[in-house]
Amino acid sequence: MRHISRRGVLGLGAGAAAGLGLTGCGTGLGGGPHGAGGSGGSGGGGKGKGKPEKKVTPIGDGSTARTGRQPNQPEKPRALEPGEAPPQFVVFSWDGAGDVGNGLFERFLKAGRDHDAHMTFFLSGIYLLPESKKRRYLPPNNAPGASDIGYLTDAHIKSTLGHLRTAWLDGREIGTHFNGHFCGDGFGSVARWTPKQWRSEIEQAKSFVTEWKTNSGWTDLDPLPFDYEKELVGGRTPCLLGQQNLLPTARELGWRYDSSSPGGLQVWPRKKQGVWDLPLQSVPFPGRSFEVLSMDYNIMYNQSQNSTQAPPANYPAYRTQATGAYVAGFQRAFETNRAPLFIGNHFEEWNGGVYMDAVEGALKHIARAKEKAADGEIRIVSFRQFVDWMDAQRPEVLAKLRTLGVGQEPAGGWKDFLKAGSTA
């Protein structure tokens, strides 16, 4: 089942739809997910050890536990020195973050380790809720247990738990994609939820993570090695809908960022209602006259008009074009304004899996560029690590960075652009 934001699809071409932030995530009814060290800030972090180093202190029913500081984290970020160029940040993120046995969660955990790439996994809370207990989910404006994405099988919930443990111990971030993924224009759509209803959805998403042992009865399994109340500092809404009413609740809950804005540009971000607004961004679309949002679904939509099973003869061209879009977005930013690049993905096999190949190809390209660059110049980080760096910077420096438009180089080079006194 696929879900398409209806904004911009009626009477508009694919390029226009992309410009309006069209996005979607889907599952079949079978339960599949929809789907750096160096000076100056976040990045790096080394290889995953696989085990917490400190004492495990269970929280609540033992679904989660305190295990000490998260392993494999970068050095504490510092403010840029006058005249110092900002790093090029890249964030790979995953919506849904559930496992259905297609090997994609494992594939990208390994890719992250191989290329020292920290990522953000936006977990859908109901992916830890057994379908037999689905009526414990009370979605706003929808029937109890309703969901526009499938529930996972018990076996896949268990494998998802294992992958989440590994991800966190490897230094990755666990955010939220909320629960039932209600898109569209109907009464139950997340686009119509109030701040109070968003709070209910968030509290339920957290409870499915922190009470999975109670809901499943699997008391013999290891806990997730983190305190989710502290770990959860941001998310991405289904189909990039509903951010306006989400943000007041996000701010009240102490969230540090939200990645739900549609149609962002490759410029330095700012806060919205007190929360860092980190949108997916329009990037060059090779061979086309328009740009495309930096997400696998949007690229797929523009290539095959939302068909996930286009003729296989098209796959090589689709793969090359998708890879080229991500690489072009990276190169444009790295060679000009150094705006962070945010990429969104799903553990899906649309059009023969070409989009998974594309994102891994882009990751490899960026990792090679990182090896050739100066230490810390390119950083593949999580959203949380990125906002750690942003919060360490002087406000006047960030304001100066925000004066640079898409693809705009700093006048006189970075040494002159951010020299002492130039940001006052």
Q: Which of the four pLDDT bands, split at 50, 70 and 90, describes residue 424? A: low
Residue 235 and residue 176 in contact, taking contact as beta carbons nearer than 8 Å: yes
For the packed helices 315-335 and 350-372, what is the interaxial angle rounded to 10 degrees? 30
- Closest by CA to 399, choosing from 380, 412, 417, is 417
- Mind listing the pLDDT tens digit for each residue in 39-70? 333 344 344 445 545 799 999 999 999 999 99
Domain residues of the chain, as ranges?
A: 14-27+60-65+84-417
Read off φ and ψ for residue 205, nearest 5 degrees.
-60, -45
Query: pLDDT at position 36, please?
Result: 30
pLDDT higher than 70, residue 313 = yes
Stretch 247-266: mean pLDDT: 96
Query: pLDDT at position 420, please?
Result: 80
Stretch 93-97: mean pLDDT: 98
- Mind listing the pLDDT tens digit for each residue in 391-406? 999 999 999 999 999 9
Query: pLDDT at position 51, please?
Result: 54
**Of 7-16, 39-48, 274-283, which one has max mean pLDDT?**
274-283
Query: pLDDT at position 167, please?
Result: 98
Give the angle 45-96-73 at the CA atoms, nearest 5°.
10
Stretch 257-261: mean pLDDT: 96
Query: pLDDT at position 294, please?
Result: 97
- What tokens does 309 get? 């099973």
- Closest by CA to 362, choosing from 59, 108, 58, is 108
* Higher per-residue pLDDT: 34 or 57: 57
- Mind listing the pLDDT tens digit for each residue in 350-363? 999 999 999 999 99
State which fold the 14-27+60-65+84-417 domain adopts.
Answer: TIM Barrel (3.20.20)
Compute the distance between CA of residue 125 and CA of residue 191 in angstroms, rounded to an integer: 19
Stretch 14-33: mean pLDDT: 35
* Higher per-residue pLDDT: 199 or 39: 199
- Mind listing the pLDDT tens digit for each residue in 221-230? 999 999 999 9
In 147-306, which residue ranges form alpha helices assigned H by DSSP? 154-169, 195-210, 212-216, 228-231, 243-252, 296-304
Please give the mean pLDDT across all residues of the chain: 89
Stretch 20-31: mean pLDDT: 36
Stretch 284-306: mean pLDDT: 96
Residue 74 and residue 412 in contact, taking contact as beta carbons nearer than 8 Å: no
- Closest by CA to 208, choosing from 126, 138, 121, is 126
Stretch 128-150: mean pLDDT: 98
pLDDT higher than 70, residue 409 = yes
Query: pLDDT at position 50, please?
Result: 52
pLDDT higher than 70, residue 340 = yes
Query: pLDDT at position 184, please?
Result: 83
Say whether 169 sits in a helix, a strand or coil. helix
pLDDT higher than 80, residue 423 = no
